């Protein structure tokens, strides 16, 4: 699907109408690679050491549209894949095909396909979980690693499924996502409404944040239950940007992305195979002050497992940081990337 040509040349609108450099369409290219037995679609810009940008749920490579030109301008090859189950990348049918071990293997396969031994990996939401797992399990393939909103913590003695069943709290929505077909039916019934409600910023003009209601999803009867039928789109998105997500997910559905949530027990067991869960790589953690789920306090103790950790914080951003606060995030990412040792 072609991406929107959204704004006048040289200007791309972030949250609240801010202006930043628009990717020149001639500079941004699309590719399809064979990786770990699937076809993987990427959008890429720039030349230099690779920086691979991993998105979360329910997103696409397009979530990184503001970061691609900034990272390319800083002298890197910015690569944003549609992750397994999303967009133009293959979506295998089985739930177990979406375990972290498989998705990490996708990223290793992407490295092999582009002829690179290592890359800097940057991830948001579920993509953040993947990049931390890569650094933990495959440090030889990771030059450096950054999490946006998503913190790192080693696997504890209790499985996340057991812990969340006992005390769901803000993670109640993940329990709602467990039964195949249930969340799919709700989210796919009106895809435009799903994205109008789910993609909200911290700007008061947006009025509410569906993610703030993540603690009582099952009691309400669904992720979107109780929210307006005709909510306006978020101020952080143009009509064309919203439509890119809507049209893509109308075609693909949500099952691939939801299957990521259905492997938490398997992922926990795999994480527990690492005897010493330290990440010995240059790392960056970017927290967002208004994220109602991945709150900054969850990242407060990361230095004990990541000795070379740098930090960035964006107070006026909710969960969708790349799209809500692109200029602030780009400054943090580019400054950190430029600080890395020159070796590829």
Active site residue 33: no
Please check whether residue 193 is in contact with residue 229, taking contact to mean a CB–CB distance below 8 angstroms.
Answer: yes
How do strand 282-288 and strand 309-314 relate by DSSP bridges?
Answer: parallel
In whole angstroms, how far apart are CA 66 and each of 13, 87, 111, 255, 305? Answer: 9, 18, 23, 26, 30
CA–CA gap between residue 46 and residue 146 (Å, rounded) = 19
Active site residue 261: yes
Helix or strand holding residue 230 (H, E): none
CA–CA gap between residue 52 and residue 86 (Å, rounded) = 16
Active site residue 41: no
The CA-based diameter of the chain, rounded to the nearest angstrom, is 53
Q: Both ends of the chain: CA-CA distance in Å?
A: 33
Please check whether residue 262 is in contact with residue 174, taking contact to mean a CB–CB distance below 8 angstroms.
Answer: no
Tabulate helix, strand, coil % of the chain (nearest 5).
45, 15, 40
Out of 33, 86, 176, 261, pick the active-site residue: 261
CA–CA gap between residue 162 and residue 168 (Å, rounded) = 10
Beta strand residue intervals within 46-137, DSSP E? 50-54, 77-81, 119-124
Out of 90, 97, 106, 125, pick the active-site residue: 125
Peptide bond between residue 58 and the one before it cis (omega within 30 degrees of 0): yes
Out of 41, 55, 66, 319, pick the active-site residue: 319
Q: What angle do CA 164, 165, 170 make, to 5 degrees?
A: 40
Q: Give the residue among 98, 47, 77 at the shortest CA–CA distance from 257.
A: 98
Question: Token digits for 197?
Answer: 């409600």
> Phi-psi bin for 156: left (phi > 0), alpha (psi -120 to 50), beta?
beta
Residue carrying the six token digits 């202006």: 19
Q: Which positions are catalytic?
A: 125, 261, 319
């Amino acid at each position: 699907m072609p991406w929107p040509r959204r704004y006048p040349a040289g200007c791309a609108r972030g949250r609240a109408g801010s202006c930043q450099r628009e990717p020149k369409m001639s500079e941004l290219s699309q590719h399809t690679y064979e990786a770990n037995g699937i076809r993987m679609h990427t959008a890429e810009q720039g030349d230099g050491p690779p920086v691979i940008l991993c998105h979360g749920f329910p997103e696409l490579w397009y979530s990184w549209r503001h970061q691609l030109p900034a990272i390319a301008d800083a002298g890197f090859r910015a690569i944003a894949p549609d992750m397994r189950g999303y967009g133009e990348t293959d979506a295998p049918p089985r739930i177990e095909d979406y375990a972290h071990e498989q998705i990490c293997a996708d990223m290793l396969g992407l490295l092999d396909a582009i002829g690179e031994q290592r890359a800097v990996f940057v991830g948001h939401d579920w993509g953040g979980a993947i990049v931390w797992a890569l650094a933990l399990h495959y440090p030889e393939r990771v030059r450096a690693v950054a999490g946006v909103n998503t913190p790192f913590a080693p696997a504890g003695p209790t499985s996340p499924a057991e812990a969340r069943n006992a005390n769901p709290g803000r993670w109640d929505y993940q329990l709602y996502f467990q039964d195949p077909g249930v969340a799919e039916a709700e989210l796919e019934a009106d895809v435009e409404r799903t994205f109008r409600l789910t993609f909200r910023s911290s700007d008061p003009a947006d009025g509410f944040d569906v993610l703030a209601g993540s603690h009582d999803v099952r009691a309400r009867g669904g992720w979107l239950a109780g929210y307006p039928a005709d909510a306006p789109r978020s101020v952080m998105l143009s009509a064309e940007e919203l439509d890119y997500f809507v049209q893509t997910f109308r075609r693909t559905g949500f099952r691939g992305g939801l299957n990521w949530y259905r492997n938490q027990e398997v992922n926990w067991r795999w994480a527990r195979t690492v005897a010493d869960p330290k990440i010995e790589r240059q790392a960056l953690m970017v927290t967002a002050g208004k994220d109602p789920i991945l709150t900054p306090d969850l990242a407060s103790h990361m230095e004990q497992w990541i000795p070379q950790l740098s930090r960035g914080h964006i107070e006026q951003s909710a969960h969708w940081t790349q799209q809500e606060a692109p200029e602030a995030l780009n400054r943090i990412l580019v400054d950190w990337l430029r600080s890395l040792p020159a070796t590829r």
